[in-house]
Amino acid sequence: MANSVTPLFDIGANLLDSQLSKNFNEVITRSKENNIRKIIITSSHIDDTYQAKELIDREPDLLYTTVGFHPHNAKDFKDSHIDKMLELCEHDYVKAIGECGLDYKRNYSSKNDQITCFTKHLELATSIDLPMFLHERDAHEDFIILLKEYSHLVEDIVVHCFTGDKKSLSSYLDLGCYIGVTGWITDPNRGYHLHDLISYVPSDKLMIETDSPYLMPFNYPIKNKKYNEPSNLIYVLDAVASILQKDKNILAEEIYNNSCRFFNI
C-alpha cells in the first residue's frame, strides 16, 4: 500500500472524540506520515468549536473546524447561540457552518427540534460567506425541501458521508452540492450500492473524509485496530480510485483541489 504522493485533505474528522484526542500527538504524526495536509475537525455543538481551537493552536497549518449543531444535538440549540456562532464564523480557523442537518435514523432530538435547528443554520449561512457541512440520514424528503429553499443563497454545500440512493444523489447534484465519501463505501454490508453511484458525481464535486473515529475502512489491512483516524484517508482514496478506475494521484489532486476551493483554504 503506497502512500499518496499528492497531499490529502480529510474534510471530516471527529478529533474531539476521546479516542482521538487522548492520542492526539500520535494521530497527528501518522496523518502527516500519510501526507494528510489538511483536516477539518467536525464540530457537532457550539462547545466543540471552542475545544477544537485548543487543538488548532497546536497545529495551525493542518487543522480547521466548523461551527454548528449536529441534528443529534438539535435539542440543545437556542436562538441565543446565533450571535456566538456569528462571532466564531469571523475567525480564520472556522471554515464551514455545520455539522448540521437531519437524522431520522436515531432521532436523538425530536424531528421538530431538528427541523428548527437546521433551518436556523441555513438562515445563518445565507448571511455569511461560509459553506455548509451537512449530515442527512434517513431524512431525505424533509432535508431536500429545506435545501431547495436555501441552497441558492448559501456559498457552497457538501452532503458529508453520503450513503443514500441514486434519487437522493441526483437531487443533491442538481442543487450543485458537493458529495463527501467515507469508508462506508468499503463496507460490503451497507456501502457497495455506492460503487455504482459515485461515478455520477462530477470530478469537481467529489471530496473524501474519514469521519473518524467511526467508519474504519474495510480495506484497512490490520483488523484489530480499535478506531479510525485521519491517516486512514489513504484507504478511502484507494477504494474510490479503484471503483472509478482512475489514477490514484490524479484523483487525489482533483479531490484536494476541490476541498481547498470549497473550504477556501
Contact between 91 and 124 (Cβ < 8 Å): no
Q: How far is the CB of 239 from Zn ion (least distance, A)?
A: 19
Query: Is residue 121 involved in binding Zn ion (CB under 5 A)?
Result: no
Nearer to Zn ion, 11 or 94 (CB): 11
Nearer to Zn ion, 135 or 248 (CB): 135
Nearer to Zn ion, 99 or 156 (CB): 99
DSSP-derived secondary structure letter, 200: G
What the block records as the C-alpha cell of 178 is 458537493
Contact between 209 and 177 (Cβ < 8 Å): no
137-166 residues in contact with Zn ion (CB under 5 A) are none
DSSP-derived secondary structure letter, 212: B
Nearer to Zn ion, 120 or 135 (CB): 135
Size of the site for Zn ion (CB under 5 A): 1
Q: Which of 135, 180, 230, 234 binds Zn ion (CB under 5 A)?
A: 135
- For the chain, strand residue ranges (E) read 8-13, 36-41, 63-67, 94-103, 132-137, 157-159, 178-181, 206-208
What the block records as the C-alpha cell of 198 is 459515485
Binding mask of the shown chain, residues 235 to 264, with x at each position contacting Zn ion by CB under 5 A: ------------------------------
Q: How far is the CB of 71 from Zn ion (least distance, A)?
A: 9
Contacts of 188 (CB under 8 A, 6+ apart): 218
Write out the residues near Zn ion by the rule CB under 5 A: 135
